[in-house]
Amino acid sequence: MEQVELANKNDIVMDIVNVTLRFGGVKALSHVSFNIKRGEIRAIIGPNGAGKSSMLNVINGFYTPQEGEIWFEGKRRPRLKPHQIAYQRIARTFQNIALFEGMTVLDNMMTGRMIYMKSGLLSQLAWWGKAEREETENRLVVEKIIDFLEIQAIRKTPVGVLPYGLQKRVELGRALAAEPLLLLLDEPMAGMNNEEKEDMCRFILDVNEELGTTIALIEHDMGVVMDLADRVVVIDHGEKIADGQPDEVRNDQNVIDAYLGVSH
């Protein structure tokens, strides 16, 4: 409940200032600035190749922008390795599913709790003491998430053979296992039918409302975006073209031209 209160304070979790990212000649992002407030669902939309995924990659340190700064929790973030950023409790899912195919669902999710595992080598070697305790504690957390996502039945299945939709769900689970402060979702609902999308929306909303997790979401299904997002930022050709409440954005002529097309 404490976190919900914090959310009310409207403070800013992450501030992205003037970020520019280039790949050789390609400008993936140019001078993009926006912020993410605590406890909100922030959607990022834009046409294909606009630079949305690149934005997430910048946030979790996989790409280093040529220009611009990122402020996290009120502090300017120095240049960090992706795994160091994971320790700041920023977790994400990927556009092209990036699960560990050779591992079971359970192991995948336990990997998500990597940042909480600290037992030493010897303890692990003997499976005794801290290692065993830690394993059980973390397993409890993971089991809760498994229950929450209703994937109990596939706990021990290798993820490689799961259908696409379930894989997406497992990936969400893996991100949740990190108990993130900021959760980045890259097209979590691509390739799902309506019913599954509803389920997924439910999960996202629950995470957001009950755990108070801040979420940044990329999605192409406008229905989902309009229904879930608190605020939406629109990127086109690497530039921010709009930012605001869903309704504002939906009626923005620039956005309609660049992205939505006529029918929406």
* Residues from 128 through 187 that contact Mg ion (CB under 5 A): none
Nearest residue (CB) to another protein, 9 versus 161: 161
Rounded Cα–Cα distance for residues 247 and 243 (Å): 11
Judged by DSSP in three states, 99 sits in coil
The binder of 74, among ligand ATP, Mg ion, another protein, none, by C-beta within 5 to 8 A per type, is none
Q: Is 95 in the site for Mg ion (CB under 5 A)?
A: yes
Closer by beta carbon to ligand ATP, 158 or else 244: 158
Judge whether 155 and 105 are in contact, CB under 8 Å.
Answer: yes
In this structure, are strands 12-23 and 67-72 parallel, antiparallel, or unpaired? antiparallel
* Sequence letter at residue 102: G
Identify whether the C-beta of residue 151 lies closer than 8 Å to the C-beta of residue 163. Answer: no
Residues 172, 149: contact at Cβ < 8 Å?
Answer: yes
User: What is the smallest separation between the CB atom of 62 and Mg ion, expressed in angstroms?
Assistant: 13
In the set 6, 12, 17, 205, which binds another protein (CB under 8 A)? 205
Q: Rounded to the nearest whole angstrom, what is the least distance from the CB of residue 212 to ligand ATP in the complex?
A: 27
- Of 4, 5, 18, 100, the residue at the interface with another protein (CB under 8 A) is 100
Residue pair 130/119 in contact (Cβ under 8 Å)? The answer is yes
Q: Which of 223, 247, 251, 254 binds another protein (CB under 8 A)?
A: 223
Residues 130-189 that bind ligand ATP (CB under 6 A): 161-165
Distance of CA 210 to the CA centre of its chain: 17
Question: Which residues in this chain contact ligand ATP in the complex, by CB under 6 A?
Answer: 23, 26, 28, 46, 48-54, 95, 161-165, 191
